[in-house]
Each structure stands twice: as structure tokens, then as C-alpha cells.
Amino acid sequence: MRITVMGTGYVGLVTGTCLADLGNDVKCFDIDQEKINRIEKGDIPIYEPGLNALIERNVKTGRLSFSSDMKSSVAYGDIIFIAVGTPSMDDGSADTRQVLNAAKSIGALMTDFKVVVNKSTVPIGMADIVKETIDTELNQRFKDGTTSRPDFSVISNPEFLKEGSAVDDFMRPDRIVLGIESNESGGKAREMMRKLYAPFNRNHERTFVMNVRSAEFTKYAANAMLATRISFMNELANLAERVGADIDSVRQGIGSDPRIGYSFLYSGTGYGGSCFPKDVQALQYTANSNGLPLKILSAVESVNQRQKFVIAEKISAYFDNNLEGLTFAIWGLAFKPNTDDMREAPSRVLIKELLTRGAKVIAHDPVALEAAKDAFKDDFADHPELSSRLSFSDNAMDILAGADALILLTEWKEYKSPNFVQIKSLLKQALIFDGRNLYEPDVMKEQGFIYEGIGRRASPVDLLTATRSSREDTPSRA
């Protein structure tokens, strides 16, 4: 089939490339010619395992191409995916201007039947607005009635891709959600989408067809549920520390219940990225606009913001609220492993907090260093003096030399089994703050480390006891 994908961001590139790999002819459009030029040269703007090789392979076969020409791109696809950004506005609502611009262009240029697919995460009811926008353009073009107006159908096909495993998620979906109108054009669209996704349904049916608004709602509901599980476990982890429980044991105990399961039950420094924060906010905005505030989601967001400060508070407590002149080594900057995405990353909150309190920070990340530099440049625009105490390195071990503590914020594979003997020899003191519970407290204690995770403390007094005993053997900072 001939497919046009509007937008070459995270969702657009993955969608277009994977559909091409399934044997379709795909043209990916973007208004940014410079970005198109970079992609055609192999300079892919996002980091996603396996994506570069997939793009290269399908460009060589001719199934995948890129363009900044709107007219030819609209004409090309029988199915047009709108996969542009919908970032959060200041009030929490989704910014849908790019979606509407795409819809307007489709209506202004289409000459035959099109299935217009909302792949972007959009507010509930957005398909109706897209349809109205296209209708308005078509009515203007064909108002004299001398030629017949082409028909179209707008459907919702939300994405459920996880950063770091998006290619595999697309190629092996657990579900395909289609929101389709129950009319003649909707029936035609349904058959075309079933044909497009037929390769995924050979073993068993993975497609769920529903009305359009239900499909739009499903995307928000899925991310809201996952975010809720994360915040729920983070709150329990904080309580576990107070009462002397181990949150990982609790996780295993409740996860074994099939009604609960193990997914998204890991405590840590809070969720980030491009989806959960903005989708939770957008769903709350929709609820408030309809006079039905979602109290649970309000708490989820509040807990998540609070959780991003937990490690900073642990560090401050250990050093008697005086971080002036201390140096901290940080492993992991991206909000999760296998991505360079720094959007809403907990590392940004923690690092700014440490720097504001007078500390120095040197950080490592296997992939996200350049993205992190850009992110902190924005964060420190009003406080340039902070940036002078932040540095980066591409060597994880080098940054430990003389540091007062190691802070782990992203669970990259290369951090999971490090040389602890070397770590201990490099650090000023054997002190680790683990924001992802990557290590076992008992094992760390046996190796002579003072170790502080999230909800993993054996008893409420362990950290203070360790603090007192370690200071007897630690030279004064003076």
C-alpha cells in the first residue's frame, strides 16, 4: 500500500520505517527541509535501538523516502498518518496546532479518497475537529459544484510505543486500536486498515475496533494507568523506609498476584519522558473542562513531582544539609535506558537541586550526553552560574575519582554489574545513592558500601547509623 506519514519525530519515523519494512511504499513528510536532509544522510534525529539500520535498509530498497513537499506527499498516500507533536501547553492541555495544520493541508491538496489516521496523541474529540478542518478546506475548494468533491475518513489509531523498544513494539504489538466511523467512508477505511495491519493478525486477532472517541480515550487511559502504578509504588516505597519494610520484597509479594502482575511496580525517582507527564496532564485538563476532576490523577502527578526530590533529600540529610563544595558523580541522565530523551527526566531536577545547594556534579550517560547538554542549557538559562559546576564525561569510571558519592539515576545495562572494588577505590568514601534500586542492599553492605536506595532500607535508622560511623573514618572536607 502507499502510505504518507506526516512528521519525522519519534512516532512518525518509527511508524513509517516499520510500515515500509512490512512491504509498503512509504513517504515521510516534514516541513523542516534541514531535518529531511539530515535523515537522508543517515543522521537520525532520535536514538532508538535498531531504527537506523531499518531506515537504511528500506531507503536502499526504495520502499522508504523522505520529503518536505506537502503537495506531493498528500498525493502520494492512500493512507495518511498524522504523527506530529502535541506538546503540553502551560495549562496542561495538548498543543494541537501541528495536527490542525496537517489537516488543513490535506483538505487543501487532496484529490482522491484518503484515510486520514490520527497517530499523534490527541485530546478526546480531536478526530471530529480534524474532520471539520478538512471539510472546511474541501468545501471552499469545491463550492462552485462543477467538480465532485473527494471523500475521506478520519480515524484514530493511537500508538503504544515504549521508548527504547519502539521498533519491537511496533513489529510485535500486543494490541492495535482503531477508532472508526460507522458510515460508508468509515467502512472503506476499516477495510484498508485491516489490510495494512493484516501481517500482525495472522496468529491471532490483535485489532480492537471501536468508535473514534473511545480509541482516543484508550491512549490516555493506558498511560494514566501506568503512571498511577509508578506513583503508587513510589509512595509505598517512601512509607516502607519509615516502617522498616523492603519495597522490593513487597513488589514480589503483590506482583505474584495475577490480578496485579509485576509490570510498572518498580519504585524510583519518578517517571519522565514525552508521554506520561503530558498525557496525565492532558487527561486532567479534559476532565476539568467537562466538570469532572480526576482526583486520583491529580495525586499521581503530585506524587511524581515530589518523588523527583527524594534522592536530593537523602543526600542532604546524609551531609547535614551542607553540600557546599562537595562533588557528586551521576550515572544516567536520560529518563529511562535505551533512549536519549531528556524530557521531564528526574536527573534534571536532582542536578539542578544539587548545584543550587553549592555542589559540583559530573555526569555520565551512554547515549544522552549531547541531549543532556542541550537540556541543561535551557534549564540554566536564567542561572548561568550553575552550569560552571556541571560537567560531563563519556567514561563512567573516570567521573568517580575523588567524588563524595555516586548517584545512579538510569538503569542502563552497563551500570548493572560494575567493578565495585574499583568504584570503592575511586570514591572519596564508599557511598552510593541508588535512584533505581539496581543493587542489593545486603550485597553492598558486605562489600563495605554505605548504600541508600528507594524503599530498600533494612530499618529506619540504618542510614543515620552508617552516617555517624562513616564520618569517624572520613577526613574533614576542610
- Whether 452 is covered by a domain: the verdict is yes
450 SS3 class = strand
81 SS3 class = strand
- Whether 137 is covered by a domain: the verdict is yes
d(CA 438, CA 451): 11
| Domain tally, the chain | 3
d(CA 282, CA 121): 10
d(CA 124, CA 218): 9
Examine the domain organization and report whether 270 and 391 are in the same domain.
no
Examine the domain organization and report whether 246 and 363 are in the same domain.
no
Examine the domain organization and report whether 46 and 83 are in the same domain.
yes
Angle (deg, nearest 10), helices 126-141 and 212-243: 150
Model confidence, pTM: 0.90
Examine the domain organization and report whether 275 and 340 are in the same domain.
no
- Whether 320 is covered by a domain: the verdict is yes
60 SS3 class = helix
Per-residue model confidence (pLDDT) at position 144:
84
Angle (deg, nearest 10), helices 51-61 and 10-21: 50
Per-residue model confidence (pLDDT) at position 466:
46
The domain containing residue 248 runs over which residues? 221-305
Per-residue model confidence (pLDDT) at position 86:
93
Q: Tally the C-alpha atoms within 13 A of residue 232's C-alpha that lie toward its C-beta.
A: 15
Examine the domain organization and report whether 150 and 233 are in the same domain.
no
Nearest 5°: the CA angle 166, 275, 154 is: 80
The one catalytic residue among 154, 227, 275, 426: 275
> Could you tell me the CATH number of the domain that includes residue 239?
1.10.1040.10
Examine the domain organization and report whether 90 and 152 are in the same domain.
yes
Q: Encode the chain (478 residues) as per-residue pLDDT tens digits.
A: 999 999 999 999 999 999 999 999 999 999 999 999 999 999 999 999 999 999 999 999 999 999 999 999 999 999 999 999 999 999 999 999 999 999 999 999 999 999 999 999 999 999 999 999 999 999 999 988 778 899 999 999 999 999 999 999 999 999 999 999 989 999 999 999 999 999 998 888 899 999 999 999 999 999 999 999 999 999 999 999 999 999 999 999 999 999 999 999 999 999 999 899 999 999 999 999 999 999 999 999 999 999 999 999 999 999 999 999 999 999 999 999 999 999 999 999 999 999 999 999 999 999 999 999 999 999 998 888 999 999 999 999 999 999 999 999 999 999 999 999 999 999 999 999 999 999 999 999 999 999 999 999 744 444 444 444 444 444 434 3
Examine the domain organization and report whether 318 and 301 are in the same domain.
no
- Whether 215 is covered by a domain: the verdict is no
Examine the domain organization and report whether 228 and 191 are in the same domain.
no
Q: Which of the listed residues 181, 210, 239 is the one where a domain comes to its end?
A: 210
Is residue 220 within 8 A of residue 121, CB to CB? The reply is yes
Examine the domain organization and report whether 173 and 231 are in the same domain.
no
Per-residue model confidence (pLDDT) at position 399:
98
> Could you tell me the CATH number of the domain that includes residue 10?
3.40.50.720
Q: Tally the C-alpha atoms within 13 A of residue 219's C-alpha that lie toward its C-beta.
A: 28
Examine the domain organization and report whether 159 and 261 are in the same domain.
no
Q: What does the DSSP 8-state code read for residue 88? A: B
Is residue 153 within 8 A of residue 188, CB to CB? The reply is yes
Q: Which of the listed residues 171, 191, 210 is the one where a domain comes to its end?
A: 210
Indicate the helix (H) or strand (E) that contains 295: helix 295-307
- CA-nearest of 473, 452, 456 to 464 is 452
Residue type, 242: R
Q: Reduced to 3 DSSP states, what percent helix, strand and coil does the chain have, rounded to the nearest 5?
A: 45, 15, 40
- Whether 478 is covered by a domain: the verdict is no
Cα separation of the two ends of the chain: 71
- Whether 216 is covered by a domain: the verdict is no
Examine the domain organization and report whether 325 and 264 are in the same domain.
no
Task: Look at the block and give the residue holding cell 491529580.
Answer: 298
d(CA 32, CA 29): 9
- Whether 88 is covered by a domain: the verdict is yes
Q: Tell me the residue ranges of DSSP E strands in 269-359.
A: 327-331
d(CA 471, CA 475): 8
- Which residues pair with residue 79 across a beta bridge? 3, 115
Nearest 5°: the CA angle 224, 226, 227 is: 65
Indicate the helix (H) or strand (E) that contains 432: strand 431-434
Per-residue model confidence (pLDDT) at position 204:
84
Is residue 28 annotated as part of the catalytic site, yes or no? no
Nearest 5°: the CA angle 98, 67, 370 is: 70
Q: Which of the listed residues 286, 305, 324 is the one where a domain comes to its end?
A: 305
Examine the domain organization and report whether 188 and 200 are in the same domain.
yes
- Whether 152 is covered by a domain: the verdict is yes
User: Measured between alpha carbons, how far is residue 220 from residues 80, 303, 402 in Å?
Assistant: 22, 19, 46
